[in-house]
Structure formats: structure tokens, C-alpha cells
């Protein structure tokens, strides 16, 4: 017999948005989600750590993951469990297996931890304090339909900051030093597809010809720049944002930077970006060029649980107390053929109007994309 439905701790606070317990979400959609992603990376391109935590209330699942790209190796830690009534998981209580994301000061400071593997002490572990240095800013409201059905609706914000602490892997310790490491993060909730559902007629008859995606948070010393682009096969833009944000207390308002256009130089025979220029425009119509130099890369479909990952995806029930650690060899792209059909996060060095900054160049380009000259899913750069 299931336990009785009783109030949870969050119900004590005056934060309700609907006549429901905070245990429940308004939507009955099985794909309801609430999660975060953090990026931590050095400015030399040696290490790229990606980690996140997600709650799927209608699936009854909580899970978390971390991947570290070092050379040709990708070290991954994943954990999943049953979602209990204590909906304070985003505060890191309790952790999910060895992984936790703790909110020490909302919108300001976070504690990110991964316990060491008791079997293999050379595996991935870390203890990081992530501190926001710029205000968190909204991304555009994100919706996507397949046929007449709403399959994705997300509310998201993004932020950049500094990191301190340490990362250990393969017998090496990285000390996260100010000025040599950067952190970015994304927080989102809403409805987003998780595996296990038959898409029916809509999935069969409304298959997209192509999809092009750029998500680019960049931290400079005195400003934060966020660029977001989503396009269909013919280049029709369904999501667009370019914003320049200044530190709190600076007295400077956010500045919109127009309609971004991007020139990407791909590695021949692939859709792997090596360099790019994002063309922006300030309010006086002055052209601005955001230069991009890729430093390190981590495909989210390998280890991190994003589609079309074959071994584990977010929100899927793995049983109680599931933890998995593994190492992927990325030296041969042919060993992970589906990675090319998922989004890849690249740590990068950026230039803008004489300034140098660091951030993430998240890129995904699948199928036909007329502006890039890609005719179909098999097309690659020449």
C-alpha cells in the first residue's frame, strides 16, 4: 500500500503558485522536469567538467551526473534514485549517490561535490564552490511542438561566475585558481521529453529535416555576454537572444546586441567547430565581432545522459540507489557514432572589442541546414 499523501516541508513556506502541495507539479505530463547544469573549465583547455542534477516528479525519479574531459578520456559518474517527498534535493539534501548540488546562497553561491570512488581512488571526485559574478538572466521562453502537441516548454536562466576548490582524477589534482578557471550554469524547468514514450503519429509524420542550435555564455572580466540561436532546416529562427550584462552595482543596464549571425569554421569531414565569429550589433548599430577559439570539447550524448545517448538518459528509472562510473575513449569519433547527432559543449576562448573572455560554445547541427550548406543528415564540412 502506498504511503498517505501528506504535506512536505516546502509547504510551510509562502511560495505556492497553485492550490497544490509543493510535492506536486501543475502539469500531469510525464515529461515534467526541473534541473540544472554547471560547467567548470580551465582557460588553457586541459579540463572541462560538466555536471547536473534533475528531478522528474511525475516519473518519480531524481538523477545526477558529472563528466570530466581530460585529453582523449571522458570520465563519467552517474547516479539515479527514487524521488522522495523531501523536495529539497536541489539544496543537496540528500545527495544522489556520490553527487550533490548544494544551494548555499540562491542565485549566488553553490557547493558542487562528487565523492571519491572507494574502489578506484584514481576516478573522478571534486569539491567546488561556484560563485556568481554577474546577475542571473532569463533566456527566452522556449517552446517546441511536434505536429499539434507541445513536446517542450522550458523556463530557463543562465549565469556566469568564478570557481574555487579542487578536482581529482587519474592521480592528478586540479586546484581551481581565480583568473585561471571559469564557471557557467543554466537552470531550467518545465516539460522536456524523456525516453520511454511512443511518439505515435506525430513522431512518424513530423520528423524534422534539420535542427541548428547555439548556446553561448561568455564571462569577461567586466561583463557577461549570452547568445542563443535555434534554427530550422531552412534557417528560420525559432529562438533568438543576444545580451550583454554587467555586474550588480555597476549602474549599467543590460544591453541587447541585435540579431546574431555566426560564421563557423568546421573541421573538414565533420560538423565539429574549430573557430567561429558571432556577428553582433550594439544599440548604436555598431558591428561587434565575438571571436571563438575552441579549447576542449565534451559531447553531451557521451556520459552526460543527453539524447541520443545509448547507455543512460535523464529521467529514466534505473532502480533505487543506482550508481555508474565509467571511462570513455574519445580518441576515435567512430567509437561513438551517435555523439554527432547530439549537442556538444566546447570550452572556448572569446574575444570582443579588445577584451578576452572564456565561456561555453554549445553547438548542435543535425540534418539539413541551408545557411551552413548542409543538405541532409550525412552532410559534413568540406
When computed from its CA atoms, the radius of gyration of the chain, rounded to whole angstroms, is 21
Check pLDDT > 70 for residue 88: no
pLDDT of residue 198: 75
Q: Check pLDDT > 80 for residue 203.
A: no
Angle at 380 (CA atoms; ends 376, 382), nearest 5 degrees? 130
- Summarised one tens digit per residue, pLDDT across range 27-41 is 999 999 999 999 999
Mean pLDDT of the chain: 94
CA distances from residue 15 to 11, 19, 76, 229 in whole angstroms, order as listed: 8, 11, 36, 33
Mean pLDDT comparison of 135-144, 192-201, 288-297, highest-scoring range: 288-297
139 closest CA partner among 24, 271, 67, 245: 245
More confident residue, 63 or 199: 63
CATH 2.60.40.1220 fits 29-372, yes or no: no
Q: Any idea where the domains of the chain sit in the sequence?
A: 29-372
pLDDT digits (tens, 9 = 90+) for 96-133: 999 999 999 999 999 999 999 999 988 999 999 999 99
How high is the pLDDT of residue 84? 81
* Whole-number percent of the chain with pLDDT over 70: 97
Q: Residues 259-278: pLDDT tens digits?
A: 999 999 999 999 999 999 99
Is the distance from CB of 128 to CB of 176 less than 8 angstroms? yes
Instruction: Please check the confidence at residue 91 and state whether its pLDDT lies above 60.
Output: no
- Find the mean pLDDT for residues 269-290: 97
Judged against a pLDDT cut of 90, whether residue 22 lies above it is answered with: no
Q: Is 268 exposed, middle or buried (0-12, 13-18, 19+ CB in 10 A)?
A: exposed
* Residue 94's pLDDT band (cuts 50, 70, 90): low
pLDDT higher at 8 or 261: 261
- The total number of residues shown for the chain amounts to 382
- Residue 2's pLDDT is what? 64
pLDDT in tens, 57-87: 999 999 999 999 999 999 999 999 999 876 5
pLDDT value for 201: 82
Whole-number pLDDT of residue 112: 97
Neighbours of 362 (CB within 10 A): 21
- Least confident range from 6-15, 148-157, 200-209: namely 200-209
C-alpha separations of 153 from 88, 140, 150, 195 in Å: 23, 11, 7, 16
pLDDT score at 255:
97
The region of weakest confidence among 143-147, 278-282, 347-351 is 143-147
Distance CA 311, CA 222 (A): 41
Does residue 229 have a pLDDT over 90?
yes
Show the DSSP H helices in 115-249 as ranges.
200-205
Amino acid at each position: 500500500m502506498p504511503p498517505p499523501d501528506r504535506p512536505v516541508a516546502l509547504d510551510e513556506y509562502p511560495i505556492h503558485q497553485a492550490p497544490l502541495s509543493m510535492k506536486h507539479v501543475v502539469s500531469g505530463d510525464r515529461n515534467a522536469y526541473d534541473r540544472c547544469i554547471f560547467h567548470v573549465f580551465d582557460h588553457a583547455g586541459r579540463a572541462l567538467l560538466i555536471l547536473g542534477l534533475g528531478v522528474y516528479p511525475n516519473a518519480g525519479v531524481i538523477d545526477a551526473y558529472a563528466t570530466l574531459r581530460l585529453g582523449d578520456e571522458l570520465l563519467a559518474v552517474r547516479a539515479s534514485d527514487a524521488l522522495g517527498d523531501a523536495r529539497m534535493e536541489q539544496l543537496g539534501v540528500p545527495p544522489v549517490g556520490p553527487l550533490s548540488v548544494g544551494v548555499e546562497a540562491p542565485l549566488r553561491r553553490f557547493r558542487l561535490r562528487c565523492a571519491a570512488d572507494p574502489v578506484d581512488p584514481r576516478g573522478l571526485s571534486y569539491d567546488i564552490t561556484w560563485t556568481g559574478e554577474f546577475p542571473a538572466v532569463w533566456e527566452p521562453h522556449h517552446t517546441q511542438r511536434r505536429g499539434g502537441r507541445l513536446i517542450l516548454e522550458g523556463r530557463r536562466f543562465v549565469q556566469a561566475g568564478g570557481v574555487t576548490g579542487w578536482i581529482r582524477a587519474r592521480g592528478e589534482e586540479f586546484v581551481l585558481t581565480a583568473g585561471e578557471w571559469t564557471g557557467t550554469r543554466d537552470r531550467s524547468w518545465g516539460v522536456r521529453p524523456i525516453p520511454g514514450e511512443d511518439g505515435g503519429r506525430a513522431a512518424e509524420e513530423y520528423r524534422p529535416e534539420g535542427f541548428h542550435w547555439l548556446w553561448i555564455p561568455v564571462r569577461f572580466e567586466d561583463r557577461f555576454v549570452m547568445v542563443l540561436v535555434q534554427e530550422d532546416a531552412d534557417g528560420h529562427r525559432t529562438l533568438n537572444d543576444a545580451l550583454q550584462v554587467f555586474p550588480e552595482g555597476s549602474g549599467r543596464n543590460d544591453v541587447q546586441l541585435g540579431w546574431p549571425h555566426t560564421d563557423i569554421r568546421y573541421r573538414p569531414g565533420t560538423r565539429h567547430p574549430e573557430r567561429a565569429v558571432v556577428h553582433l550589433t550594439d544599440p548604436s548599430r555598431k558591428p561587434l565581432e565575438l571571436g571563438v577559439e575552441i579549447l576542449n570539447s565534451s559531447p553531451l550524448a557521451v556520459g552526460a545522459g543527453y539524447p541520443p545517448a545509448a547507455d543512460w538518459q535523464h529521467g529514466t528509472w534505473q532502480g533505487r540507489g543506482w550508481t555508474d562510473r565509467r571511462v570513455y575513449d574519445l580518441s576515435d569519433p567512430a567509437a561513438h557514432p551517435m555523439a554527432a547527432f547530439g549537442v556538444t559543449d566546447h570550452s572556448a576562448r572569446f574575444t570582443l572589442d579588445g577584451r578576452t573572455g572564456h565561456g561555453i560554445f554549445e553547438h548542435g547541427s543535425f540534418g539539413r541546414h541551408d545557411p551552413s550548406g548542409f543538405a541532409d543528415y550525412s552532410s559534413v564540412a568540406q
